[in-house]
Structure 1
Amino acid sequence: MPSRSRRATLATVAASAGVSIATVSKVLNGRSDVAPQTRTLVQSLLRQHDYVAPSPRRGESIPPCTVEVQFDDDFNAYSTEIIQGLVTAGAELGVGVVVSIRKQVPRSTAWARDLVAAGRRALIAVTCGQLTTRQLTALSRARLPLVVIDPLNLPHADVTSVGSTNFAGGLAATQHLLALGHRRIAYIGGPATAACNQARLHGYRAAMEAEGVPVPPGYTRSGHFRYQDGLDNGTAVLDLPEPPTAIFVGCDETALGVMEAARARGLRIPGDLSIVGFDDTQVAQIASPQLTTVRQPLREMGGVALRTALRLAAGEKIDSHHVELATELVVRGSTAPVPGSA
């Protein structure tokens, strides 16, 4: 047993473990390039030797454990919920969260090495686009773990991602409108090729087909998850010869645009038109009337992503490369029985 009269050093622990001082230092700093068995042995010996890291000298600071969170578009209500979840989880775990926006694909592979040099332990991407092979290769070479939150396009099989049950959410939203007696139900979503949009659209179609309700031409439209897209697509759908009595919208922000398009035509919500959104961000609660929506657990997704990224940075194995958290329908004031049904 080690003597308690002398303070244990990295050299002491390294000699006991039969490894280099650099390896012990990597374990202490949570580096991922240490074999799991070696990591377990070193951690055990650190406890056995009662190792305590020396206090920093005056003027020196201990670099905190930080994780980079990158968005590829401007912040909105959705982004705010994700960031809140990440920051809250970071505070609980003692981990710094650095948020940035990168709208363009880096031309140089040095950006990943720069993140490591800045002390980042992992990268969490909240992205609207497909991760390129160049990006993935740069991160792999830099040994920087990557976790993608709510990917619009399912990433490579080896890329870890956190999302929600989009199909089940689309199914629940449409079933709610059908239960209210609506049969002319439209869907306004995001990018046509986006995996999350396709899942929500498929959930909508599955509910309609199960009830034997046809989807007329022009009743499904795609765009981006933005207010202006809701305004434009809502206008187009409501101007159809036989407009819908209800619309399922793939995003709360887009739903606000649809609501404005309806008001511009003198339609009452929900008296003349019922609307269901998706996400359950703050805009759903401040809308007038408050928006019935599918709650996507965005804050929880941020927390799961951060904890998963830290596990990967520590060299731990994870059970699945893709995790989906459950969605939930939240009924508020923007939906009502079909006009004239009661």
Structure 2
Amino acid sequence: MSERQAGRRVTIKDVARRAGVSVATVSRVLGVSNYPVAAATRDRVMKVVRELDYVTNAHARSLAGGGTPTVAILMNNITGAAFAHVAKGVEGAATLRGWLSLVGTTGDDPERELALVNAMRQQGVAAVVLLGGAYDRTEYQTRMGRFARSLDAAGSHLVLVGRPPLEGDVPATTVNYDNEAGAYAMASHVLSAGHRRVLVLPGPAGLTTAQGRLKGARRAFDAYGVPFDPGLVRHGSYDYEHGFSAVREVLARGADFTAVLAGTDVVAAGATQALKVTGLRVPDDVSVAGYDDIPLASHVTPQLTTVHVPYEEMGRVALRAVADRRAGDVLAGPGAGRPAEAEHLVLGTHVVVRDSVRPPRPGR
């Protein structure tokens, strides 16, 4: 059984023993000193470092408690309002504990995500918190599982916020919200107002968040016995431009709808503006519903009916989960090890009724 499999953190002595060299030689190879090392020896040592997934001692000491704990917050887009509120929750909870926070962006690039997680692991962070939905692909599950085990072997922890849990027994914490139930509740609210032709803008095709919101909406249509029209579904980015362009395109095509279910409040704002520039009034002619309940929802005119997601609380819960786990490791004592654990926490959502949804006009 390997050191990682046994749940014990790999040390420089493990590397030296496996490579058949002294600890001093491993230190020289890893750049701790400028002492020259033969190329063949360097290659042998680095091969073992990769095999054991070894993290250098300076960073391992940080993970073991010799310094201020740091949490890395990684998100797709730092300007996303929902992401910002989760990050605020993480950072606020970290500050209360005297921890530091780092923020990075992945730009929806899996390779950059991989590079950032590896960089944070080498920096000895207490945890890496990944924010936002993920694309439901096999390689995603494989990559996240690798991240989680690599961080765990280095004494760190992976936390996924706002995305589904990983498959299998992976040492990661998931903090999610009841995404599908929120979409079901919002679609039910719109249908109960009498709407039957509804334009649905769930988000990017393939994104787990969008899949959940579309699934929740379709469940509501089934529950109300209302036929669901796939021709009134438009996938696209969670941004203002998509809301605007999707509504303009559907209107130009001559499709009839009396309500819009938008995947986010920002998409809803774009949809509202598109309706206004074509002479349609919200909610007199077309109702619009959002999702997220960011501050924008109560600042637009009319104020937006939306689904409240407890983003800041999700961030606080994520940090607490890491802090509790770290405290448990300290109480267990050095070298005690721990079994790989998967933890899944789910927070609730609810509809916030404001002014943008009302029954359709007679005859529509």
Q: TM-score, normalised by structure 2?
A: 0.70
1:323 aligns with 2:339: no
1:126 aligns with 2:131: yes
Structure 1, gaps ≥5 residues long: 1-25, 33-61
**In structure 2, distance between residues paired with 1:71 and 1:109:** 12
State the secondary structure of the residue aligned to 1:221: coil
Who is 2:278 aligned against?
265
**In structure 2, distance between residues paired with 1:240 and 1:312:** 55
Amino acid at match of 2:362: G
Q: How many residues align?
A: 286
State the secondary structure of the residue aligned to 1:280: coil
Who is 2:11 aligned against?
none
Amino acid at match of 1:148: L
1:84 aligns with 2:84: no
Larger mean CA deviation between 217-226 and 273-282 belongs to 217-226
**In structure 1, distance between residues paired with 2:244 and 2:114:** 40
Q: TM-score, normalised by structure 1?
A: 0.74
Contact 2:134/2:208, CA 8 A, preserved across alignment: no
Q: Map 1:123-272 to 2 at 5 A.
A: 123-129=128-134, 131=140, 132=143, 135-136=147-148, 138-151=150-163, 155-157=166-168, 158=170, 159-272=172-285
Structure 2, gaps ≥5 residues long: 1-58, 330-338
In 2 relative to 1, CA 112–182 (structure 1 residues): closer, same or farther, beyond 3 Å? closer
Following TM superposition, by how much is the alpha carbon of 1:280 offset from its aligned partner in structure 2, in angstroms?
0.5
Who is 1:309 aligned against?
322
**In structure 2, distance between residues paired with 1:88 and 1:108:** 24
In 2 relative to 1, CA 92–341 (structure 1 residues): closer, same or farther, beyond 3 Å? farther
**In structure 1, distance between residues paired with 2:114 and 2:229:** 48
Who is 1:93 aligned against?
97
**In structure 2, distance between residues paired with 1:254 and 1:286:** 14
Following TM superposition, by how much is the alpha carbon of 1:242 offset from its aligned partner in structure 2, in angstroms?
3.6
Following TM superposition, by how much is the alpha carbon of 1:247 offset from its aligned partner in structure 2, in angstroms?
1.0
In 2 relative to 1, CA 88–107 (structure 1 residues): closer, same or farther, beyond 3 Å? closer
**In structure 1, distance between residues paired with 2:245 and 2:183:** 21
Higher helix share: 2
State the secondary structure of the residue aligned to 2:126: strand
In 2 relative to 1, CA 114–215 (structure 1 residues): closer, same or farther, beyond 3 Å? closer
1:31 aligns with 2:103: no
In 2 relative to 1, CA 102–336 (structure 1 residues): closer, same or farther, beyond 3 Å? same
**In structure 2, distance between residues paired with 1:228 and 1:167:** 24
| Identical counterparts, % of pairs | 31
In 2 relative to 1, CA 165–341 (structure 1 residues): closer, same or farther, beyond 3 Å? farther
State the secondary structure of the residue aligned to 2:291: strand
Following TM superposition, by how much is the alpha carbon of 1:95 offset from its aligned partner in structure 2, in angstroms?
2.2
